[in-house]
Structure 1
Amino acid sequence: MDTLAQLRAGQLAGLKRLDLSCGLTEFPREIFDLADSLEVLNLSGNALSSLPDDLHRLTRLRVLFCSDNHFTQMPACVGQCAQLSMVGFKANRIERVPAAALPPLLRWLILTDNRIEELPDELGQRPHLQKLMLSGNRLTRLPQSLGQCHQLELIRIAANRLSELPAFLLGLPRLTWLAYAGNPLESEADAAALESVARIPWDELALQQRLGEGASGVIHQACWQRPGQAPSEVAVKLYKGSMTSDGSPLHEMNACISAGRHPNLIRVEGRISDHPQGQNGLVMQLIEPSYRNLAALPSLASCTRDIYDETTRFSADAALRMARGIASVGAHLHRQGITHGDLYGHNILWNPEGECLLGDFGAASFHAPADTEETRALQRIEVRAFGILLEELLERIESGLSPQQHERLQALVSDCCQPQVLARPGFAEVGDMLRGI
């Protein structure tokens, strides 16, 4: 983290990224001294409510973060920044987004956890728009113009007030990752499934080391001491109460329970009861250390694409086993009326034998199990995510794949990613194709 004193002393000349979080109530004019170099400006975690009208003087600025501040509207001056492509105003008090605030090269917009009731039609006139984060607002409709955003791949509209998913959204040719939980339009979770899961008293659990933390909660290793049984090692996820970019953590927990059991899902042992602070949590299968994340999260540059380690390589057998496993669990979830919403390599754990587990239900949503055009579209949107994943696996196979197999797998990638949403195969058909290769 950079300091205001360093900035004012001229010690940050030539800086490409500036991070300032120090209780700012006004934009420091000294930032303009970096205009010849500054590309990323992060002013999150301050008390700002406005930005200077001449912000466009930062002619190289590509990324602007102003989350966790006091803005009540998105500043119009943001739209005057000619090179700006990524804008983040998460967790402010924003009620209004003026059309003038949308920069012409906008690619990635984050407005999660605000008070927005309506978006300008001009949003659909940003042809580069690829990633749109709108969860936790008060939207009752989406601009019809979004149907023109043919590059849009990821949209988060969870926890709003939407009564329907517009047809134009479900027909977007590149839409791949969609989260819409917590809106009136969403089907209800199966109450019987939620009630059938075991209740595990908090006093039977002894937390050990922390295994990880995400936007929705913290995971610990724990010892579970059931009465009259030998202790067992498990993982415990304690959910946070705050809104995430994907939606509500409690909704994630319900989706995780409703998903049921499958060899390629992390097994849920039960739901925590009697936590002293009333915190919600799940007890889950502890994953063996041989498993690791398939990929890392997308970067600012890659936007919607995962980052793979340069050394990541698979045998053909391992890659095909992973592909079959993920297709199988995708079909299972769709039969339960669940779309995962975040089918990505970074949410998959794998080992060198090709065994894999799909995790992180933060973007999961419920849909009606009936076979309707809307249901098929929702499911085929997720099939596109699988197509991208399959292509990433194909690119990293180092041995064992014949030219004929490669050709058939590449054809499957094309089928899964074709622009006509309803012409894509379902996961059951994808699984059949993979078993035939």
Structure 2
Amino acid sequence: MQTLEQLKAGGLKGAKKLKLACGLTQFPPEILDLADTLELLDLSGNRLTQLPQEFARLRHLKIAFFSDNDFTEFPAVLGQCPQLEMIGFKACKINQITEGALPPLTRWLILTNNQITQLPASIGNCARMQKLMLAGNKLTQLPPEMANCRNLELLRISANELTALPDWLFTLPRLSWLAISGNPCTQHGQVVADLPEVPWSELLLEEELGQGASGIISKAQLKTSSSVSRPVAVKVFKGEVTSDGLPEDEMQACMAAGAHPNLVPVLGKITHHPEQKQGLVLELIPKDYQILGITPSFASCTRDVYPQGTAFLLQEVITIATGIASVAAHLHARGILHGDLYAHNTLVNGTGHALFGDFGAATIYDKADQELASRLERIEVRAFGCLLEDLLEHLAPHEKNQETGLAFHQLKEACLHPQVLERPAFETILAAISQHILA
């Protein structure tokens, strides 16, 4: 991270990236001296409340982060930045976005955990919008002009005050990853199966295994008797609104998912945590399982990335695709929209067996509403189509023209159909794999 002293002394001349977190209450005017080169500006973690009109001089700026500041209004001057396409204002105090404030080239907008009650109609001018993060606000509806955002692929509107989902939402041809839990329109009184209780005192935490937006996962020992214990994984939720939604909704969905060969088994829920936090005890994943893909980059926006040289054998693709389609069918049969069907949420071993996880964006929906159920499932089918497309793009060269590989390409195209209800259901996908592709 650079320093304010470096900036004021002119030591950052020619910089393309600038990150300052030093308790700023005013926008440093020296940043404008970087107008000819600056492409990424990160002023997160300060105490800013506004930006100057001269900010528009940053004509090469593409990415701007202002999370964890004290803004109450989305700065209208950003709408005058000609190249700005990725904007982050997570966990500020924004309650107002004026018309025209959103740059027309915006494709990735993060407004998680604010106090926004209404979106401007001009958001419909953001034709390039691909990723829109709005969880944890006070929205009661979405403007109909958003129907013009035909490139929207990932939408997070969990933990708002939406009483209904607009019909146009299900006409967006590229929408693939949707999170809608924690709204009045998703509260339908469904009873979720409970889990065995595991007192915190019976767990001995060891090393941390990973940390996500919603919680921390650690290896632990679970006491099974006075002298015997077994290794497990423990996820303790942070209790805060995440970019996907509320931790309690994730926990409910994880419990409601039940058992499946391609899901990490959930052993119980934690009780009597010293800080009253919620958590789950999970089966410890064997070390031979590796993450299938890497989370999207700034450039890829909504699509996972893969290490250079990644190549899958056709049999691996078949096994992975079968496992993920099977677990997705299982979840939707239980009325669960996962909302984050991605390679980076999938672990695979040497045989291609997949374990699917991370229910942070999941929604439990009303299966009795058959029209809604069909629409939500087929939005998720497009996410599966994107995963299948990734796998096929990284298929080993000598297997790309095999008849089975070509059949997989046809299945992928069916999953990516621009008309939502023209896509196959997951049970149909499974049947296609077993009856035609594997025949």
Within-5 A mapping of 1:56-135? 56-135=56-135
Letter in 1 for 2:430: G
In the TM superposition, residue 263 of structure 1 has moved relative to its aligned partner by 0.5
Tell me the equivalent position of 2:422: 423
CA contact (8 A) 1:317 1:400 kept: no
CA contact (8 A) 2:192 2:256 kept: no
Alignment gaps of 5+ in structure 2: none
- For residues 80-133 of structure 1, the C-alpha deviation after alignment (integer angstroms, 9 at most, x for no partner) is 001101111111111100112111211111111000101111101111111111
Q: Supply the distance in 1 between the matched residues of 2:276 and 2:423 (Cα, whole angstroms).
A: 44
Q: Supply the distance in 2 between the matched residues of 1:149 and 1:4 (Cα, whole angstroms).
A: 39
Q: Supply the distance in 2 between the matched residues of 1:248 and 1:49 (Cα, whole angstroms).
A: 27
Aligned to 2:315, which of 310, 314, 317? 317
CA contact (8 A) 1:189 1:255 kept: no
CA contact (8 A) 1:349 1:357 kept: yes
After alignment, is 416-425 or 221-230 more displaced?
A: 221-230
Letter in 1 for 2:99: A
Q: Supply the distance in 1 between the matched residues of 2:424 and 2:381 (Cα, whole angstroms).
A: 7
Change over 3 Å in CA distance of 1:343–1:229 after alignment to 2: farther
SS at match of 1:191: coil
SS at match of 2:386: helix
CA contact (8 A) 1:201 1:273 kept: yes
Tell me the equivalent position of 1:391: 389
SS at match of 1:101: coil
In the TM superposition, residue 311 of structure 1 has moved relative to its aligned partner by 2.6
Tell me the equivalent position of 2:335: 337
Q: Supply the distance in 2 between the matched residues of 1:407 and 1:43 (Cα, whole angstroms).
A: 48
CA contact (8 A) 1:171 1:421 kept: yes
TM-score (norm 2): 0.97
CA contact (8 A) 1:171 1:377 kept: no
SS at match of 2:69: coil
Identity %: 51
Alignment gaps of 5+ in structure 1: none
Tell me the equivalent position of 1:293: 291
In the TM superposition, residue 191 of structure 1 has moved relative to its aligned partner by 2.9
Q: Supply the distance in 2 between the matched residues of 1:381 and 1:277 (Cα, whole angstroms).
A: 38
- For residues 186-215 of structure 1, the C-alpha deviation after alignment (integer angstroms, 9 at most, x for no partner) is 04474350x3x1101111100000000011
In the TM superposition, residue 403 of structure 1 has moved relative to its aligned partner by 2.4
- For residues 160-192 of structure 1, the C-alpha deviation after alignment (integer angstroms, 9 at most, x for no partner) is 000111110111111000000000000447435
Q: Supply the distance in 1 between the matched residues of 2:174 and 2:37 (Cα, whole angstroms).
A: 34
Change over 3 Å in CA distance of 1:69–1:429 after alignment to 2: same
In the TM superposition, residue 391 of structure 1 has moved relative to its aligned partner by 1.0
Q: Supply the distance in 2 between the matched residues of 1:2 and 1:243 (Cα, whole angstroms).
A: 29
Q: Supply the distance in 1 between the matched residues of 2:104 and 2:276 (Cα, whole angstroms).
A: 46
Letter in 1 for 2:281: V
Aligned to 1:281, which of 258, 275, 279? 279
Tell me the equivalent position of 1:214: 212
Q: Supply the distance in 2 between the matched residues of 1:400 and 1:82 (Cα, whole angstroms).
A: 44
Q: Work out the number of aligned pairs and report it.
A: 435
In the TM superposition, residue 264 of structure 1 has moved relative to its aligned partner by 0.5
CA contact (8 A) 2:152 2:175 kept: yes
Tell me the equivalent position of 1:34: 34
In the TM superposition, residue 324 of structure 1 has moved relative to its aligned partner by 0.1
SS at match of 2:100: helix
Tell me the equivalent position of 1:269: 267
Q: Supply the distance in 1 between the matched residues of 2:61 and 2:413 (Cα, whole angstroms).
A: 36
Q: Supply the distance in 1 between the matched residues of 2:320 and 2:189 (Cα, whole angstroms).
A: 28
Q: Supply the distance in 2 between the matched residues of 1:330 and 1:367 (Cα, whole angstroms).
A: 14
Q: Supply the distance in 1 between the matched residues of 2:274 and 2:117 (Cα, whole angstroms).
A: 37
SS at match of 1:105: coil
TM-score (norm 1): 0.97
- For residues 128-155 of structure 1, the C-alpha deviation after alignment (integer angstroms, 9 at most, x for no partner) is 1111111000000000011111100010
2:28 matched to 1:44?
no
Tell me the equivalent position of 2:344: 346
SS at match of 1:393: helix
Q: Supply the distance in 1 between the matched residues of 2:138 and 2:258 (Cα, whole angstroms).
A: 31
2:249 matched to 1:251?
yes
Q: Supply the distance in 2 between the matched residues of 1:316 and 1:269 (Cα, whole angstroms).
A: 34
Q: Supply the distance in 1 between the matched residues of 2:348 and 2:16 (Cα, whole angstroms).
A: 36
After alignment, is 45-54 or 224-233 more displaced?
A: 224-233
